[in-house]
Structure 1
Amino acid sequence: MTIPSFEGRSTQKAAVCHGAVDLRIEDKPIAAPKDGEAQIAMGVTGLCGSDLHYYVAGANGTFKIQAPMVLGHESCGVITALPASYAGPLAVGDRVALEVGINCKNCHYCKIGRYNLCKGMRFASSAKTFPHLDGTLCEVMTHPLDLLHKLPAGLDLPLAALAEPLSVVLHAYRRAQLQPGARVLVLGAGAVGLLAAALAKASGATTVVAVDIEQGKLDFAAKQGWVTGTHLLPRGARVSGLDALEVAKTQWEGLQKDEVVASVEGLAEGFDAVFECTGVESCMQLAVLAAAPGTKVLYVGMGTANLTLPIGPSMIREVDLIGVFRYCNTYPEALALLGSGKLGDVSKMITQRYPLDRAVEAFEDLRRGKDKDGNTVIKAVVGNLELK
């Protein structure tokens, strides 16, 4: 492998979001690594739902862009430089995945290992904190050494970029505390939902039903063998509050009549766990209705700032509503899973690849859900397609 060099260069290209539907390829300075950091030539970055929210609306829920910000956080690359003082296990040329949440390491949550809850965390490409921390849709960046994870041998860089969404799913699955034989409902068959289904199936779930409004995504999940059934929801205008609850009730009635749900004894009363991966209010309400008494809802999807949930039905049926915010202590397991093949051929999730200078096209395709050739967008990656 030829290790990229940035010697003699002072600037690089990056995809910078200035606001709603205002993404520009701009010059940014190249930084040398400080003590405790490495310089990394970026491989590819997977585009995420939060990236799309920033691109479309200039905000993700209540997190609004206050200054131009480089997007992207599902990333991997190759170490190109290390500080002279470094004497650790990483070396120039190592292929690494970047865990992009930089926590304070000193607060209560950091000290007990739940660093995803650190109030001082700065997360690349998130407008939650200001000044914003730039993301990974660039040619080269510096990053803390302790948040770089060396890739298993043979794991391709684009596949390694899936470690970030898989980490979200692993964190949710740990919080669910499911046993083999569980019956799982996954709302949303985007990348996170598909990985949730794949992990559930690989972990011994006997029933995995995926729900989405796009038949192409459901067909993809079924073809990969990650689900035992799928259910297509009708498209409709987004509504909120009690209107959304009425939509959710109708959707649950339709799910209960679904052939797969009706054929499994007791499943019409609800699932052992519902992974809500859309962030759409009606789906977040549907999740409560579709959970069996005494089970759990995992709220993985984000994007709805304020919402109404049917708390009454959850209380009287002892359904636990569990928030899932990013992840912690997951990257080594996520990379090992991706390298092991236990989840199946998840590389097929990467359906579109774009060089950095076509980032706007990538976001527009993601926004439509189809590329220019009419192919369904499952996971689009952007960056240096030549880096191996």
Structure 2
Amino acid sequence: MSRENLGVLAHAKEDLRIETLPEPTPVSDEAVIEIAYGGICGSDLHYWTHGAAGESILIDPLVLGHEVVGTVLHAAADGSGPAAGTPVAVHPNTPHAVDGIRYPEDRPNLAPASTYLGSAARHPHTDGAFARRVALPARMLRPLPAGLSLRDAALVEPASVAWHAVSRAGEVAGKSVLVIGTGPIGALVVAVLKRAGAAHITAVDLHEKPREIARELGADATLDATDTEAIAAVQADIVIESSGNWRGLASAVRGATRGGRVVMVGLLPSGEQPALISLAIVRELELVGSFRFNDEIDEVIAALADGSLRIDPVITHEFPVEDAAEAFAVALDSSTSGKVLLVF
């Protein structure tokens, strides 16, 4: 290859390295993908800053990255998947069942032993795809329609997380919705809500930049996260909590109308967390979890292709992979950045 296969790895807490990786050696059902863009996710930042993402603790060096798009360089030898030259997005989940642990078969995101690209949840770790060339199972690949740029498609994975969260809210058309936390996932939630016909969207964040992005995507009003009285006065039919902070969850409960639904997509730290459970009980609130996504990725791709889902304001920065250290530092500052992309 004309260019070395640079990858981005987390070795330990505060130890992020850009290294030359071996060329991928695919098995028969894997294709070799030339990665074009990779979006830096909160989990990537956690592996860098803490050496762990929740209960997923780094033991060995890990190639980061699961929000990736690219072009098929070599198709899978067994004939499965798209042909060489096809632009593709990636569904990073591989469901695995465990004997004796039940989950709904139509919700593979809940399979108990699933693996995810760029995750240290299991050992050996599941390397991600922040590299110029990677081998991926053909079943993970989603061909992109003509006219959908790889840059826009770089948000397919996080937009699918947002789409799944909105689907967990039930019918949103004509309803008032409060979104707590408008980082990239919360901002994409606003975009999906706008497309779905929500009557009024109020977006909440600590910083002005994320609130500005939310307004560009269709939020009717924005509030500072510290203005708890104003948030409590919203009384929304639906609240989507995407801050991943217990204070955000408290604001979500306060801001929901009686009989409302609170969707929790922001992943709080493991262990016990403070929560306004008594208020949720007396208001008969429905508290609903939302975790990753399933086939929503196909709906997201279609909505991006037909222009009905607008997501471009979410992307605020792009860096070449050689400058990954700077890119991660920018992504860590949510007061000045939305989604930060690596260009491979």
TM-score normalised by the chain length of structure 2: 0.93
Please tell me whether residue 254 in structure 1 is matched to residue 230 in structure 2.
yes
Q: Percentage identity across aligned positions?
A: 33
Is the 8 Å Cα contact of residues 37 and 68 (structure 2) preserved in structure 1? yes
Aligned ranges for residues 26-175 of structure 1 at < 5 Å? 26-86=19-79, 88=80, 90-104=82-96, 112-175=105-168
Q: What are the superposed Cα offsets for residues 205-262 of structure 1, whole Å, 9 maximum, x if unpaired?
A: 111000001112212322x25110000134xxxxxxxxxxxxxxxx432324xxxxxx
Identify the residue that residue 347 of structure 1 maps to in structure 2: 312
CA distance in structure 1 between the partners assigned to 2:322 and 2:268 by the alignment: 27
Q: Which amino acid in 2 is paired with 1:319?
A: L
Structure 1 unmatched ranges of 5 or more: 1-5, 235-250, 257-267, 371-375
Give the number of equivalent residue pairs: 342
Q: Which amino acid in 2 is paired with 1:362?
A: A
Identify the residue that residue 333 of structure 2 maps to in structure 1: 368
Q: What are the superposed Cα offsets for residues 319-366 of structure 1, whole Å, 9 maximum, x if unpaired?
A: 11111111111111011111121123x223211111111111001111
Q: Which amino acid in 1 is paired with 2:29?
A: G
2:337 pairs with one of 345, 359, 377: 377
CA deviation after TM superposition for structure 1 residue 284, in Å: 1.4
Is the 8 Å Cα contact of residues 37 and 70 (structure 2) preserved in structure 1? yes
CA distance in structure 2 between the partners assigned to 1:204 and 1:168 by the alignment: 18
CA distance in structure 1 between the partners assigned to 2:82 and 2:231 by the alignment: 50
Is the 8 Å Cα contact of residues 64 and 127 (structure 2) preserved in structure 1? yes
The 1:288/1:369 distance shift into structure 2, 3 A limit, reads closer
Q: Give the ranges of 4+ consecutive aligned residues of structure 1 lying more than 6 Å apart after TM superposition.
A: 105-111
Is the 8 Å Cα contact of residues 38 and 69 (structure 2) preserved in structure 1? yes
User: Which structure has the larger Rg over C-alpha atoms?
Assistant: 1
CA distance in structure 2 between the partners assigned to 1:128 and 1:211 by the alignment: 31
Identify the residue that residue 322 of structure 1 maps to in structure 2: 288
1:273 pairs with one of 238, 242, 257: 238
CA distance in structure 2 between the partners assigned to 1:12 and 1:171 by the alignment: 34
CA deviation after TM superposition for structure 1 residue 111, in Å: 7.4
Identify the residue that residue 310 of structure 1 maps to in structure 2: 276
Report the 3-state secondary structure (helix = DSSP H, G, I; strand = E; otherwise coil) of the residue aligned with 2:127: coil
CA distance in structure 2 between the partners assigned to 1:35 and 1:110 by the alignment: 30
Structure 2 unmatched ranges of 5 or more: none
TM-score normalised by the chain length of structure 1: 0.83
Identify the residue that residue 259 of structure 2 maps to in structure 1: 294
The 1:140/1:303 distance shift into structure 2, 3 A limit, reads farther
CA distance in structure 1 between the partners assigned to 2:217 and 2:115 by the alignment: 37
